[in-house]
Structure 1
Amino acid sequence: MRLIRKPVLCNYYVTYRCNASCHFCDIWEKPSPYIELKDVEKNLKDLKKLGVRVIDFTGGEPLLHQQIDAFLRIAKKLGFITTLTTNALLYPKKAEALKGLVDMLHFSLDFADAAKHDEVRGVGCFDFVMKSIEIAKSLGEKPDILYTAMNENIHELEKIYYNICLPNNLVLIVNPIFDYNAVETGGGLTQENLHYLTKVSRWKNIYLNEAFIKLREEGGNHVDDPVCKAASSSIVISPKNELILPCYHLGKQEFPIQGDLYNLYKSDEVQKLAALEGRLPECEGCAINCYMQPSFAVEINRYFWKALPSTIKYNRLKGTWKNIF
């Protein structure tokens, strides 16, 4: 049964450019412009009219954009919940400007060992994460650590948890790796590692949407009975000021926004493509977290109930997601 019939999340790509080169991501390989302030301001107003509650300013590396604080300020003024994930290379320089503007601030960290983390990220950013934690706490911010769980680093979770998160009273967000396009991710997590993640998800200060695990155990999205509601629960905007459907990773079609996101999204052409969410051949087996998270929230099914306890837990820890609905 459909619970919410409007988009709740916008993945707003401020640029595809990145100052890292993570092996499990290909976004940084793409040439890209930067979004423009005038487009952001108009699009955010239209997103508000469409019912969106959460704006994820993403990339690439979102802090590469010189006006990222201005975008966040507009979003907060309009009443959006804001979220931003960074590799932390630029956070020490931008921390003061970002203070109070990001409701869910995530620092990416995949290894407790600096050399290993920097090797996976393709750049020396471990020390910047550690410095950024100190700076954020000194400013009264409550950052999270975003850990991408892979078979190659599963043993690092407890080191990050006990050595970094608990001493700093930070939430550890566990983000299971997912396959997409031709990106080499190692074939997804083993069953043993999925069971391990289920166990640790119950620990204090760890957030893992358990529906992610269930989805992987059941083979991901299935086109004959899709759980994916990417195009109807999320709106994706590119750095070129285009609406991307049905999602960023599949990106079947890009529609120039041209100053009228509201009517573009409501148009027959867009809605016909959106109606194919989860049913296209490429959607078979998909388990992309950033689109499954809102999909679990808008329709009551077995994934909704599986996701609910972890969602309540994060709400209790952070006090932000309660404002979505």
Structure 2
Amino acid sequence: MRLRSKPVLCNYYVTYRCNAKCSFCDIWEKPSPYITREDVAQNLRDLKRLGVQVIDFTGGEPLLHREIDVFLRMAHEMGFITTLTTNGLLYPKLADRLKGQVDMLHFSLDSASKEEHDTGRGIACYDFVMESIDVAKRLGERPDILFTVFRDNLDQLEEVYQKITQPNKLMLIINPAFEYNEVAVGERLTETELDYLLAFGKRKGVYLNDGFIQLRRDGGNHTADPVCKAASTTLVISPENELVLPCYHLGTKSFPIQGKLHELYLSQEVEELKRQEGRLPECEGCTINCYMQPSFAVEVNKYFWKALPSTLKYNLEKGTWKRLLPF
């Protein structure tokens, strides 16, 4: 049973450029422009008309955009829940400008070991994450630590929890790595390791969407009976100001927006692509978290029930539900 027909989320790519070279990501290899203020203003108005509730300003590294604080403020003042993930390199310099504009602020950290984290990220950014935590706390912000889990850093989860997130009263978000294109993420997590993550996610101050674990146990999305609702739950806007369908990672079709996002999203051509969500050959076995999370939220099935407790836990902890109340 479908609970919501309107899209929930917009993944708004402000640029594909990045100041890191993460081993599990290929986005930093792409040339890219930066989005413009005029396009953002018009697109936010159309996203509001379409019913979108959450705007994730992403990249690349979103803090590379000189007007990122302007975009966040515009979205926040329009009533959107705003979210942003950063490697921390630029946050200490920009923190004062961003204060109060990001509802869900995530600092990426994949190890308690400086050497291990910096190696995986391809740049020395561990110390900047630590500095970013201190700066954010001083400003009264409530950031999260986003830990991308692979088989080779699973042993670091406990130390990050005990030495970094708990002492600083931060939420630890467990983000199981996912495969796409030709990006190497190592061996898949075993059943025993998935059990370990599931138990870890029950701890105080930890968020893990249990639907992610169930999806991996089930072998990912299946085109014969797709759980993925990427195109109907999530709008992807590229730095070129194009609507990308069915998702960024497949990106089989891009449509120039040209100031008409509302009409474009409801057009016949886009509607036909929505009907193919989760059914394309490339969708078989997919476990891409950023599209599965909103997919779990709009249709009552086993993934909805698996995801619900952890989703409620996070939103109650962060207070983001208050942003959805009409005033």
Q: TM class by shorter-chain length?
A: over 0.9
Q: Secondary structure at the match of 1:153?
A: helix
TM-superposed CA distance for 1:274, in Å, is: 1.2
Aligned to 2:91: 91
Deviations 1:80-123 (A, max 9, x none): 00000000000000000000000000000001010110000000
CA distance in 2, matches of 1:323, 1:76: 9
User: Equivalences for 1:276-287 in 2 at 5 Å?
Assistant: 276-287=276-287
Partners of 2:143 and 2:25 in 1: how far apart?
23
Structure 1 residue 324: Cα displacement? 4.9
Q: Indicate the SS of the match to 1:147.
A: strand
Sequence identity (%): 66
- The range that moved more, 186-195 or 8-17, is 186-195
Distance 1:316 1:284 in 2: 34
Q: Which residue of 1 aligns with 2:304?
A: 304
Q: Do the aligned residues in 1 keep the contact of 2:82 with 2:104 (CA within 8 Å)?
A: yes
What is the rounded CA distance, in whole Å, between the counterparts of 2:169 and 2:135 in structure 1? 14
Query: Is the Cα contact below 8 Å between 2:11 and 2:58 reproduced in 1?
Result: yes
| 2:254 corresponding residue in structure 1 | 254
CA RMSD of aligned residues (A): 0.9
Matched residue, 1:53: 53
Partner secondary structure for residue 239 of structure 2: coil
Q: Is the 8 A contact 1:315 1:322 kept in 2?
A: no
Does the 8 A contact of 1:54 with 1:324 survive in 2?
no
Letter paired with 1:207:
Y
Partner of 1:266: 266
Q: Which blocks of at least 5 consecutive residues in structure 2 are unaligned?
A: none
Report how far residue 188 of structure 1 moved. 2.5
Taking structure 2 as the reference length, the TM-score comes to 0.98
Does the CA contact (< 8 Å) of 1:86 and 1:107 recur in 2?
yes
Shift of 1:187: 3.4
Conserved? CA contact 2:79–2:323, under 8 Å = no
Query: Is the CA contact (8 Å cut-off) linking 1:215 and 1:221 kept in structure 2?
Result: yes
How far is the alpha carbon of 1:247 from its aligned partner? 0.3
Q: Structure 2: which amino acid aligns with 1:58?
A: T
CA–CA separation in structure 1 for the residues paired with 2:194 and 2:23: 21
User: 2:290 is matched with which residue?
Assistant: 290
Residue 42 of structure 1 is matched in structure 2 by 42
Structure 1 residues not aligned, in runs of 5+: none
Q: Which amino acid is the alignment partner of residue 70 of structure 1?
A: V
Equivalence for 1:234: 234
DSSP-derived class of the 2:151 partner: coil
- What is the correspondence of 1:180-195 to structure 2 with a 5 Å cutoff? 180-195=180-195
| Counterpart residue number, 1:27 | 27
Which amino acid counterpart does residue 269 of structure 1 have in structure 2?
E
Query: Does the 8 Å contact 1:209/1:307 carry over to 2?
Result: yes
For residues 214 and 323 of structure 2, the distance between their equivalents in structure 1, rounded to whole angstroms, comes to 26
Q: CA–CA distance in 2 between the matches of 1:139 and 1:263?
A: 40
Letter in 2 for 1:141: E
**1:167-198 alpha-carbon deviations (Å, 9 max, x no partner):** 00000000000000100011322222111100
The code of the aligned residue for 1:21 comes to K
1:106-125 equivalences in 2 (<5 Å)? 106-125=106-125
Helix, strand or coil for the counterpart of 2:211? helix
Q: CA shift at 1:285, angstroms?
A: 0.2
Aligned residues: 325
Q: TM-score, normalising length from structure 1?
A: 0.99
Q: Tell me which residue corresponds to 2:161.
A: 161
* Conserved? CA contact 1:229–1:277, under 8 Å: yes
Moved more, 179-188 or 202-211: 179-188
Contact 1:246 1:277 in 2 (8 A): yes
CA distance in 2, matches of 1:71, 1:287: 30
Residue 254 of structure 2: SS of its match in structure 1?
strand
AA at the equivalent of 2:313: K
Distance 2:212 2:268 in 1: 32
Is the 8 Å Cα contact of residues 146 and 172 (structure 1) preserved in structure 2? Answer: yes
